[in-house]
Amino acid sequence: MSRQYNLIIGGQAIAGARGHFDVLNPATEQVVAQCPQASMDQLDQAVEAAQAAFEQWKLSSHAERQRVIAAIADRLEERAGELADIIVQEQGKPRFLAEAEVGGAVAWTRATAELELPVEVLEDSYAKRIEMHRKPLGVVGSITPWNWPLMIAVWHIIPALRAGNAVVCKPSGLTPLNTLMLGEIINEVAPPGLVNVICAESRIGAAMSEHPGINKIVFTGSTPTGQSIMSAAAGNLKRLTLELGGNDAAIVLPDADIDASAMAIFQTAFLNMGQTCAALKRLYVHDSQYDALCQKLADIAREQTLGNGADAGVTFGPVQNRAQLELVTELVEDARKQGAQVLSGGSPLDGPGYFYPPTIVRDIEDGTRLVDEEQFGPVLPVIRYQDVEDAVRRANANSNGLGGSVWSTDIEQAQRIAARLECGSVWINNHADIVPHAPFGGCKMSGFGTEFGQEGLLEYTYPQVIHINKE
């Protein structure tokens, strides 16, 4: 344990009123550090600090907000190495991927700073002028997951600040340390209380959803938790942005160049060891190329180097936590019992750490748990199809609707198929390729609301229409 961590409340480093809990390294199962545990009273204090800061911040100019956010980006960049180290230790991803997460957080912060909230003129006639202004909501509650802990915290916090809100953030108890450091960095340049970070193993997230002093919740995580948040938020009609589970389907059309596509398919399915909401999670391949693509994917999987993300040469880290490892193991074993064939991996590694090798499963059908449920881990089921219409139907037959993709050398045909997929984002010859200027969000049970770009920024505001009579 290298350093002491504290809650960030009102611009101050505060000890947890309920002591500490251990944060484990998923590669070693050793304690990385102890995280402070907040009490309900400390949640109230964080909300009060955010409310006080909001009263001034809502009056700030767009230029001032942009200046502060740009300064946050500078500080993140200065401490990139330290942040990457912490991400590797508590989340488990390889160092190169942790560096990419920090770099992405910096880039997203800068891009969000540049977004504008212009006044829209709805009418300007001889008799009247009607303007629509965008006003901040107040205190935003951010609840973040463990898979991309720094990146997703930035996705929640920075647009909230850009729109003029204050924030109370609760990171996952599995990966809280980098978010606590993010809170420290923000408070070096932002007004005290503008961003508060509190941690707890349980209860605090539910209390935030119910809290009358919080005006909006933005949550990234599982669908059942999102449903609970939505129910609890009814007390004061909180605004919600819910980015929930995904079971993204990809359809490989018969004309696809599988030699050119195999690596991209593998990388987008196993991004962050498959622990990405919009990762490719169900792969539908035409019968004519099924055997060949299954083999190519299995060959790539066997080439990966598993290990501690801090070690040189490692390309594939552990699953983040034991519960997720057990779920992945359970789904693969169920697929085996249903007659599926495992081409690579297929069982957890012996020894310390939550290691599960990249696993390709073939001869599997819809109706199997591994296809129907979100595995959120290093396993890809490959499903054979003969008719494209049937593949589209099966891709859409899932309750989730986050992302999807079509792989083909015929872009026009791929676009026609892509338009029929029931999901918030569709990629052609790629997957999970998100950028700060393109809106991102799901449909069906994958949640609602939009992140990123102008539309994502507007989610942190309400419209105020001003009618000006000239006569």
- Please check whether residue 214 is in contact with residue 191, taking contact to mean a CB–CB distance below 8 angstroms: no
Question: What backbone phi and psi angles, to 5 degrees, belong to 215?
Answer: -95, -15
335-340's contacts with Cβ under 8 Å and 24+ in sequence apart are: 335/361, 335/364, 335/368, 335/369, 335/370, 335/381, 338/364, 338/365, 338/368, 339/363, 340/364, 340/368, 340/370, 340/381
Residue 214 forms part of a structural domain: yes
Chain centroid, CA 194 distance in Å? 22
Which domain does 325 fall in, by range? 248-435
> Which one of the listed residues 35, 169, 199, 277 is annotated catalytic?
277
* Tokens read off for 34: 């102890």
Q: Which residue has the tokens 């300007």?
A: 124
Do 22 and 49 belong to one domain? yes
Do 273 and 208 belong to one domain? no
Do 148 and 271 belong to one domain? no
Do 30 and 160 belong to one domain? yes
Residue 2 forms part of a structural domain: no
Do 86 and 101 belong to one domain? yes
Length of the chain, in residues: 471
Do 72 and 125 belong to one domain? yes
Residue 238's CATH number: 3.40.605.10
- Report the C-alpha gap between 443 and 453 in whole angstroms: 18
Residue 153 forms part of a structural domain: yes
On whether the pTM is more than 0.95, the answer is: yes
At residue 1, the pLDDT reads 45
At residue 281, the pLDDT reads 98
pLDDT tens, position by position, for the chain (471 residues)?
Answer: 457 899 999 999 999 999 999 999 999 999 999 999 999 999 999 999 999 999 999 999 999 999 999 999 999 999 999 999 999 999 999 999 999 999 999 999 999 999 999 999 999 999 999 999 999 999 999 999 999 999 999 999 999 999 999 999 999 999 999 999 999 999 999 999 999 999 998 789 999 999 999 999 999 999 999 999 999 999 999 999 999 999 999 999 999 999 999 999 999 999 999 999 999 999 999 999 999 999 999 999 999 999 999 999 999 999 999 999 999 999 999 999 999 999 999 999 998 999 999 999 999 999 999 999 999 999 999 999 999 999 999 999 999 999 999 999 999 999 999 999 999 999 999 999 999 999 999 999 999 999 999 999 999 999 999 999 998
Question: What backbone phi and psi angles, to 5 degrees, belong to 50?
Answer: -65, -40
Do 221 and 325 belong to one domain? no
Do 233 and 280 belong to one domain? no
- Partner residues linked to 469 by β-bridges: 128
- Report the C-alpha gap between 291 and 23 in whole angstroms: 43
Residue 1 forms part of a structural domain: no
Residue 421's CATH number: 3.40.309.10
- Report the C-alpha gap between 70 and 300 in whole angstroms: 40
Residue 288 forms part of a structural domain: yes
CB atoms within 10 A of CB 285: 27
Please say if 90 is a catalytic residue.
no
Nearest CA to 59 among 3, 128, 136?
136
Please say if 277 is a catalytic residue.
yes
* Tokens read off for 119: 């006044």
Residue 277 forms part of a structural domain: yes
Do 31 and 168 belong to one domain? yes
> Which one of the listed residues 99, 243, 374, 451 is annotated catalytic?
243
Do 239 and 255 belong to one domain? no
Do 297 and 417 belong to one domain? yes
- Report the C-alpha gap between 471 and 126 in whole angstroms: 9
Residue 440 forms part of a structural domain: no
Do 397 and 380 belong to one domain? yes
Residue 66 forms part of a structural domain: yes
At residue 2, the pLDDT reads 59
Neighbour-count burial for 244-266, b at 16+ CB within 10 Å, e otherwise? bbbbbbbbbbeebebeebbebbb
Q: How many domains does the chain have?
A: 2
